[in-house]
Amino acid sequence: MTLSLLNTKLNTQDKCIAYLEKLRWDNKPKCVFCESKNVRKRKKSMRWHCNDCKKDYSVLVGTIFEGTRLELPKFMQIILLMINAKMGISASEIARNTGVKYQTAWFACHKIRCAMINNELKLEGMVEFDEAYIGGKKKKLVANEANLSQITNKRGRGTSKTPVVGAVEKKGKVYVKIIEKLNSRNLLAMLKSKVDTDQSIVFTNGFRGYSQFDNVVEHIKINHSKGYGKGVKTINTIEGFWSIIKNGIKGSYRAISKKYLPFYLAEFSYKYNNRHLQKNALHEILVNAVKDESCLINYKPKGNPREIVERQRGKKIKMSQNG
């Protein structure tokens, strides 16, 4: 959907409310508190009244839109700008394009990222595993002990950057997670929880943390000291995804804090997993938006962002299993 079409179809508060009500209730409204269907619409209002629990509510309660003072047409514009920006878009640019304050744009963007949290259950087939290091302070020049005339930039393991592990199906979905300690135990736990080991072949580099994979799944190691593999025996897909994240951060966000990194990872994962969506991209994210509550309140996360992301993933998994 383009901005011009959006400004025609969802250009008023009433049109946005009606659209969200159809997405959430499919023309069968029910109470958001007790789930009773014995409800009625308040006259000349966007609010509903439950005849059982006697509470008033709107379709926005329990969603990322709850409590917002931003007009919904403007909120829809921000959502469209975000999902159309494949490499990310900064809150400053959104503020300039929509005419809202920077703080409002920043807060809305993080609310939207709550609806982007990945809810994939299992990866299968040919799956690539790899780790990356994101953020941290500017690289310092380190002298080579063997030759003090040579100066190198320290990279990867041993830096102050945040370690992130990713798993991706070749030509499929991706799952990423921050893992502070890259040891065999943590990597194996991620493998078992996110990959169907009976139906998969896993490709990794030669990092010793992946050594335990041999015991639970067919495991192929790519020795980068001898080359980067051939044919399907590569981890080029996940390395390409790391390139998207790093270039997106460098080009659009410039720098992001470790605290909010889980939300940004959720955004990049969602866009990658839904990269084939064209016309229905806005519809799909709004389906998630009316199911998910915001991860933030008063411009602050409701707890540790990493725990919030994992909790949201758990909620979505439970919902998909039940419905």
- pLDDT tens digits along 129-183: 999 999 765 555 555 555 544 545 556 666 778 999 999 999 899 999 999 899 9
Q: What number of other Cβ atoms are within 10 A of residue 319's Cβ?
A: 12
* Residues 246 and 176: beta-carbon distance below 8 Å: no
Q: What are phi and psi of 80, to 5 degrees?
A: -65, -40
Secondary structure letter of residue 190 according to DSSP = H
DSSP string, 41-93: EPTTSS-EEETTT--EE-TTTTSTTTT--S-HHHHHHHHHHHHH-TT---HHH
pLDDT digits (tens, 9 = 90+) for 228-249: 667 788 999 999 999 999 999 9
Please, what CATH class does the domain formed by 123-267 belong to? alpha beta
Angle at Cα 71 formed by Cα 70 and Cα 76, nearest 5°?
Answer: 100
Amino acid, single-letter form, for residue 317: I
Question: What local confidence, expressed as pLDDT, does residue 147 receive?
Answer: 56
Per-residue pLDDT, averaged over 178-198, amounts to 94
pLDDT score recorded for residue 3? 85
Sequential DSSP letters for 195-241: EEEEEEEEEEES-GGGGGGGGTSEEEEE-TTS-S-STTS--HHHHHH
Which amino acid does the sequence have at 61?
A: V
CB 247 within 8 A of CB 268: no
- Over the stretch 62-75, which tens digit does the pLDDT of each residue have? 999 998 999 999 99
What is the DSSP-derived secondary structure letter of residue 35? Answer: -
Rounded Cα distance, 41 and 242, in Å: 48
Question: In this predicted model, which residue has the larger pLDDT, 147 or 191?
Answer: 191
In this structure, the strands spanning 151-153 and 162-169 are: unpaired
Question: 207-231 pLDDT, tens per residue?
Answer: 999 999 999 999 999 886 666 667 7
Task: Classify 162 as helix, strand or coil.
Answer: strand
151 φ, ψ to 5°? -115, 130
- pLDDT at residue 200 is higher than 90: yes
Query: 215: number of CA atoms within 13 Å, CB side?
Result: 10
Considering only residues 33 and 304, tell me which one the structure prediction assigns the higher pLDDT. 33
Domain with CATH 3.30.420.10 in the chain: 123-267
What SS3 state is found at 131? strand
> In what helix (H) or strand (E) does residue 151 lie, and over which residues does it extend?
strand 151-153
Rounded distance, CA 120 to CA 128, Å?
A: 16
